[in-house]
Structure 1
């Protein structure tokens, strides 16, 4: 989202007295300019932002995250949270502290890995006749199916049974995902290259 889009959302929230919650776990992945909804004027009055160590620090499954906002909203969250559990295992907390001390080099190394994988994914998407936004950020590549292609789930079934390649259909993320497929950058470059080679071989 652009800063202008976030400002528009914040203004909408203020106008209609709606609490906006922005889930922003990919803000530090493949983006040299991390952005937050809290940068919008007046956002602290009507917005909370969530972030996670899962994506930025490869701590998926550790369930370590954060919420940012004004004191009143945070207190409301804590009131509910304190009745749901009694805290996080201390070892995980120590791991989170160590992760948060990571310097710029960590982000640069991670981005280099994801950039390499993304270039491979772009090649695979192109082989499938799909189009994509080369400027998109985050850990996934969303690709639009070629004109005249079958529905997303039919497309990935054909790919799976004929080429032994699995890609997530956009529809599992909601109705608006029809006509799209989603590639994950969690796959190592070697595996993506294997998929490309398999596709080329069997094409």
Structure 2
């Protein structure tokens, strides 16, 4: 066998890739598994979005290579969306870049700004991809701990007591994944000042603002943020379009230009029909978000009941499409806890440890599960 690149030694197969094989094996044995682990929306996109995709297939240029920067009307559409919902003004020609999902953006940003040996501040708990991409590009992951006592927000004073001379990027994700905690304007203002003092690029990963959240906020709404900050967003959660892989990165013309240099060498543009569907999604009225959240509100209420059955505690004010819950007293291992539930009750829940050491003692329930399935899960603890 040909020897693989050394960089592969720095990453492991994604947890869900491995665990879902195990879950699949149980299903093959006839186990009635209820999967509450994955945040993949099970609801459909709006009908007008689907119609826009289908109708676009007859367009003259539908099946040709597309611009690396996406259709002008897509960029204008998402800039109008940011102006309307986040009060952020953006130049559609220079300050936004469509992506094939924001996960692609994590890699492109890292490739554009990190050299081997540069350090990256990564939230603990946080999205595992920040670490894996950091390792793949030869940079050094440095974790900053978030805690329930600190409302899952960065401790800037503690960070500035450390050596930050090699830090190039700091990853944020508010509303926070996996805990559902929210930042506020004051927090973002302090982070921007911190980044300017230390010449650090902030990247806020912001795909959950419209799910069970009444306080939508972009870091780019803070004065001067574009000098030191980028923001990622996507249509996956807000519009039930996870499989479409439509995302965006926003920031200054200089920062976006650097990312475009990477992206233009990595793909040949997003499929035309997906862009047309995305344009329509961005035009949906407030009724769309209200109806979406009616569904998630009912599901979350049921999920709270399930968490109660397990003896877990949780924050009822948390946002996003997950319930982050603390294990009952006496339970010490999240992975052992979820395995017990998986094999005894055929319910798969995510252990908090996959998001970092600060996730120990917690589990995460996905709300991408139909009400009937959540009700069935509750009944399994009543038998």
TM-score (norm 2): 0.52
Which structure shows the higher helix fraction? Answer: 1
Q: How does 1:148-159 map to 2 (within 5 A)?
A: 148-159=330-341
SS for the counterpart of 2:343 is helix
Number of positions where the alignment pairs a residue of Structure 1 with one of Structure 2: 201
- The answer to whether the aligner puts 1:105 opposite 2:269 as a matched pair is no
Relative contact order, higher structure (CA 8 A, sep 6+): 2
> Does 2:346 align with 1:164?
yes
Return the alpha-carbon distance in structure 2 between the equivalents of residues 194 and 125 of structure 1.
14
1:188 to 352, 370, 379: 370
Segments of structure 1 that go 5 or more residues without pairing to the other structure are none
Task: Note the alpha carbon deviations across 1:99-136, whole angstroms, 9 max, x for none.
Answer: 11111000000011111111011110111110100000
SS in 2 for 1:51: strand
Deviations 1:54-92 (A, max 9, x none): 010000121101111111111111111111111011111
Q: Does 1:94 align with 2:276?
A: yes
Question: How far does residue 40 in structure 1 lie from its aligned partner after superposition?
Answer: 2.0
State the 1:41 CA deviation: 2.6
- Secondary structure of the residue aligned to 1:129 is coil
In structure 2, what is the Cα distance between the partners aligned to 1:3 and 1:146? Answer: 34
The alpha carbon displacement at 1:150 in A equals 3.2
Paired position in structure 2 for 1:39: 221
Alignment of 1:1-203 (within 5 A): 1-201=183-383
- Shift of residue 162 of structure 1? 1.5
User: Aligned partners of 2:322, 2:300: CA distance in 1, in Å?
Assistant: 8
Unaligned 5+ segments in structure 2 are 1-182
Alpha-carbon distance between aligned partners in 1 of 2:356 and 2:277, rounded to the nearest angstrom: 34
Residue 179 of structure 1: CA displacement?
A: 0.4
Q: Give the distance between the partners of 1:94 and 1:39, measured in 2 at CA.
A: 27
Alpha-carbon distance in structure 1 between the residues aligned to 2:335 and 2:187: 31
Higher Cα Rg: structure 1 or 2? 2
Alignment RMSD: 1.0
SS class of match (1:76): helix
How far apart are residue 197 of structure 1 and its match?
0.8
Distance in 2 separating the partners of 1:58 and 1:178: 30
Question: How far 1:160 sits from its partner (Å)?
Answer: 1.3
Q: Which moved more, 1:11-20 or 1:157-166?
A: 157-166
For the residues of structure 2 that align with 1:188 and 1:102, how far apart are their CA atoms? 24
Moved over 6 A (4+): none
Secondary structure, counterpart of 1:8 in structure 2 = helix
TM-score by length of 1: 0.96
